[in-house]
Amino acid sequence: MKKRTLIASLLFVCYSISSVAQVTASRKIDALLQMIEYAYVDSSNQEKLAEDAIRAMLKDLDPHSVYIPASELKETNEPLVGKFEGIGIQFNIFEDTIMVTQPIPGGPSEKLGIRAGDRIVKIDGTNVAGVKLTNNDVFKKLRGDKGTKVNVAIYRRGEKELLDFEITRDKIPLYSVDASYMAEPGTGYIKISRFADSTVEEFKQALTKLKGEGMTSLILDLSGNGGGYLNRAIELADEFLSDNKMIVYTEGRSNPKQEYLSSSVGGFEKGKLVVLIDESSASASEIVSGAIQDWDRGLIIGRRSFAKGLVQKPFTLPDGSAVRLTIARYYTPSGRCIQKSYEKGDEDYDMDLSNRFKHGELYSADSIKFNDSLRYETQQSKRTVYGGGGIMPDIFVGLDTTMNSKYQSDLIRKSVLYDFALSYTDNNRKKLLENYPNIVAFRNYFKVTDELFEELIAYGEKKGVARDSAGLVTSGKLLKVQLTALFARDLWNTDAYWQVINEVNPFYTKALEALKDNTFEKMKIATR
């Protein structure tokens, strides 16, 4: 009876407060949690209730304001911070064994002599081969604080006994420049996968290298780049623009208009510039491509970008969790806000890319309709551009599905192509590197023979993907290029992969064409 009286008194106090005074939103939530704690029929998890409430509140704001629990914060930030702490390997779980696909350059594993193709069979004395580990299981075992140690036993082809390594964990860089190479004499290619802490420095290093190889024109590939840090996008755009040009400005209810201008020094202010974007290019990628387009500095090729024009700022909560809260919109130099509408809710927002596909936008530029009220002009040549829905490229390249088939999709979806490539390079690494000492030699002379291709088909049959003659006719060429690209990646790195796979990339092909013909002159794109 006393307990009931106490609960009743607490509830009365809560209700009295709400009846006699203006209760703030935060006090309402606190009062409700107290009611649940003392009066709810069953026990409750207060922390989970609070987190669910936070998520619900943010969901009602916009699609990009998110809650991050304290336990996930470090892992969530790693791709943007550009480093993590661990042993420094890229791996794949192949035939239920952890196979090293590449030691990360400069990491502790590479320094100890761990090689591509090595198989980790024990971690700290515990067997990890044939026990059905997941990627997350491996992360938990091999990642750890800098300075801590982990012991691994490695099986290496040609060695009679296991090799034991004591690895001291360290900070491991995560690179955001996936590839940088000379596409053709005079034309360089740089692909950036994200805008992280190290992105601009990586870009500058790649730019210096390519200039040293005679580069006068550049293809900057931002396709598939989902964004990252605003400041890094501004710094990258600055590399292409002359002094005192607006790159972007931001503005929000509690954040006054702030303009970001280019500085006096840029690494590639002269020369032909092509930027590749697609429907997955978002946020920071759109800042860069929007600034370049608005100043008529370069040619934008590809498909309409994602359309994320909202700026998030992280706020830390008392328990170590965080909220990435949208605080402003960003605008291109011409005044465009390229954020797409989210008024119909998250579900409709999430369906946008699917709807683009259904409506035919990914195949034809004619399917894209812009409201004339969102019409703007570029700063120099006064070309028409539009806001309210991403960056529309100057040259549209539709999605090419002529070489796609269900057979090819099944080989990828069931990891047949990937696993076969990994197995082949693992079994033939020494011979391949002797015959093709570098990626240039590999690109020029390596061919997927009919015999090797038949091995792939047979491997697929073992994995449950039946031979499909029609699919082979449609996708045979594409599969051979994809297989060659995977070989190159497993032998060297992602740079080598892109050098091969770009052979069947229509964005890349169109960029090379535009750099050779009169497109720049016709569209009044600045080259100096």
Q: Is the Cβ–Cβ distance between 188 and 213 less than 8 Å?
A: yes
Percent of the chain at pLDDT above 90?
60
CB contact set of 100 (below 8 Å; sequence gap of 6+): 89, 90, 91, 109, 114, 115, 116, 117, 118, 119, 120
Phi/psi of residue 221, nearest 5 degrees = -95, 110
Mean pLDDT of 454-472: 96
pLDDT of residue 460: 95
pLDDT of residue 80: 65
| Between residues 174 and 420, the one the model is more confident about | 420
Copy the structure tokens of residue 31: 């009062």
Lookup result for tokens 């991403």: 390
One of 65, 283, 285, 305 is an active-site residue; which one? 283
243 is catalytic: no
Angle at 79 between CA 208 and CA 180, to 5 degrees: 25
**Position 15 confidence tier, pLDDT thresholds 50, 70, 90:** very low
**Position 343 confidence tier, pLDDT thresholds 50, 70, 90:** confident
Question: Which CATH topology does 83-173 take?
Answer: Pdz3 Domain (2.30.42)
pLDDT of residue 434: 96
Question: Which CATH topology does 177-399 take?
Answer: 2-enoyl-CoA Hydratase; Chain A, domain 1 (3.90.226)
Q: Is the Cβ–Cβ distance between 218 and 187 less than 8 Å?
A: yes
> pLDDT tens, 83-127?
678 998 888 888 788 999 888 877 899 889 898 889 999 999 999
Would you say residue 13 has pLDDT above 50?
A: no
Within 21-161, residue ranges assigned H as helices are 25-39, 46-59, 70-81, 108-112, 135-142
Would you say residue 5 has pLDDT above 70?
A: no
Would you say residue 238 has pLDDT above 90?
A: yes
Would you say residue 267 has pLDDT above 90?
A: yes
One of 191, 272, 308, 510 is an active-site residue; which one? 308
One of 278, 294, 352, 468 is an active-site residue; which one? 294
Copy the structure tokens of residue 24: 């703030």
Would you say residue 148 has pLDDT above 90?
A: yes
Q: Is the Cβ–Cβ distance between 85 and 171 less than 8 Å?
A: yes
**How far out from the chain centre does Cα 310 lie?**
18
308 is catalytic: yes
> pLDDT tens, 370-400?
888 889 999 999 999 988 889 999 999 999 9
Least confident stretch, 93-107, 199-213, 478-492: 93-107
Percent of the chain at pLDDT above 70?
94
Would you say residue 153 has pLDDT above 90?
A: yes
pLDDT of residue 327: 94
Q: What is the pTM of this model?
A: 0.86
**Rounded to whole angstroms, how far apart are CA atoms 148 and 455?**
44
